[in-house]
């Protein structure tokens, strides 16, 4: 029997079959979870619907997380169609392309607020609506990146947003603990996805990462999915408010040694 048998997961952030959320959805499916999906823009439906259907899902709803009315609508639909949920996945981030190149000091007020609204506040907005559908407790998870802790050139405003996202994870874990709802973040190494293609010099991230990380390889969406399935299941029932690194050990390194044999 799968680890997630009898559980229902609502997943935000599948854009295509390269998305981290897609790796997570596949892992949940292997472990027996029932899946529901939300996607950001009407134009994505043609890609997301066949993916969702291939995992037996018939809950595929549009939701731009900057719009409270759309958020309310998707959770009203979840209540009527799914009843309760056990797992919420937040795999959403956005910043203007011009804010992911050049210097952080040039970030506009508008760009700063947009990145934080979509990439950080949306976790609060989703968690507050999801908890109502989690009468038996649950597991909420988000995706972050090490650029929150140390400077990753060009990651800029997104690094600042990820720092806020990690703090948000801890404050939500405190608030929702009494409801037996756990909130954790997965800090994934760089993976080539649509969102990542907006970061200038991302190819360098991948190359440097595999050189520096103790395991000398890049991370896959399947590996992130396996950790997400662990965080979603009862095996992690004592873990909340954590940032879990799925990065082949990159974050432990202080200096690179490019000559290692």
Contacting residues toward ligand NAP, per CB under 6 A? 13-15, 19-21, 40-41, 44, 64-66, 91-94, 118, 143-145, 188, 190-191, 193-196
As measured in angstroms, the least distance from the Cβ of 259 to ligand NAP is: 26
The three-state secondary structure class of 60 is: strand
Q: Which is nearer to ligand NAP, 40 or 173 (CB)?
A: 40
State in angstroms the smallest separation of the CB of 34 from ligand NAP.
21
Give the H or E element holding residue 186.
strand 181-188
Catalytic site residue 155? yes
Tokens matching residue 238: 């004592």
Contact 258, 201 (CB under 8 A): no
Where do we find the tokens 């988000």? 142
Question: Which residue's CB is nearer to ligand NAP, number 180 or number 208?
Answer: 208
> How far apart (Å, rounded) are the C-alpha atoms in residues 133 and 75?
9
Active-site residue (options: 145, 146, 205, 245):
145
Q: In terms of CB distance, is 133 or 195 closer to ligand NAP?
A: 195
Output the smallest distance, CB 182 to ligand NAP, in A. 19
> Are residues 21 and 44 in contact, defined by beta-carbon separation less than 8 angstroms?
no
Length of the chain: 261
Among residues 39, 146, 155, 245, the one annotated as catalytic is: 155
User: What are the catalytic residues?
Assistant: 145, 155
């Amino acid at each position: 029997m799968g680890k997630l048998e009898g559980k229902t997961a609502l997943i935000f952030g599948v854009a295509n079959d390269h998305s981290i959320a897609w790796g997570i959805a596949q892992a949940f499916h292997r472990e027996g979870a029932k899946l529901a999906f939300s996607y950001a823009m009407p134009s994505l439906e043609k890609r997301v619907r066949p993916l969702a259907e291939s995992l037996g899902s018939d809950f595929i709803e549009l939701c731009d997380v900057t719009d409270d009315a759309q958020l309310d609508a998707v959770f009203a639909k979840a209540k009527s169609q799914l009843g309760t949920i056990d797992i919420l996945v937040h795999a959403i981030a956005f910043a203007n392309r011009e804010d992911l190149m050049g210097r952080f000091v040039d970030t506009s007020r508008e760009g700063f607020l947009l990145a934080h609204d979509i990439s950080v506040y949306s976790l609060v907005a989703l968690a507050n609506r999801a908890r109502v559908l989690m009468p038996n407790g649950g597991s909420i998870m988000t995706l972050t990146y090490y650029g929150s802790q140390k400077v990753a050139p060009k990651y800029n405003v997104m690094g600042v947003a990820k720092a806020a996202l990690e703090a948000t994870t801890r404050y939500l874990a405190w608030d929702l603990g009494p409801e037996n709802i756990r909130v954790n973040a997965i800090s994934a190494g760089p993976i080539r996805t649509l969102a990542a293609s907006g970061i200038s010099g991302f190819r360098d991230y991948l190359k440097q990462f595999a050189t520096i990380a103790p395991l000398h390889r890049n991370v896959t969406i399947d590996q992130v999915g396996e950790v997400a399935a662990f965080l979603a299941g009862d095996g992690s029932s004592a873990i909340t408010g954590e940032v879990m690194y799925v990065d082949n050990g990159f974050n432990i390194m202080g200096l690179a040694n490019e000559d290692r044999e």
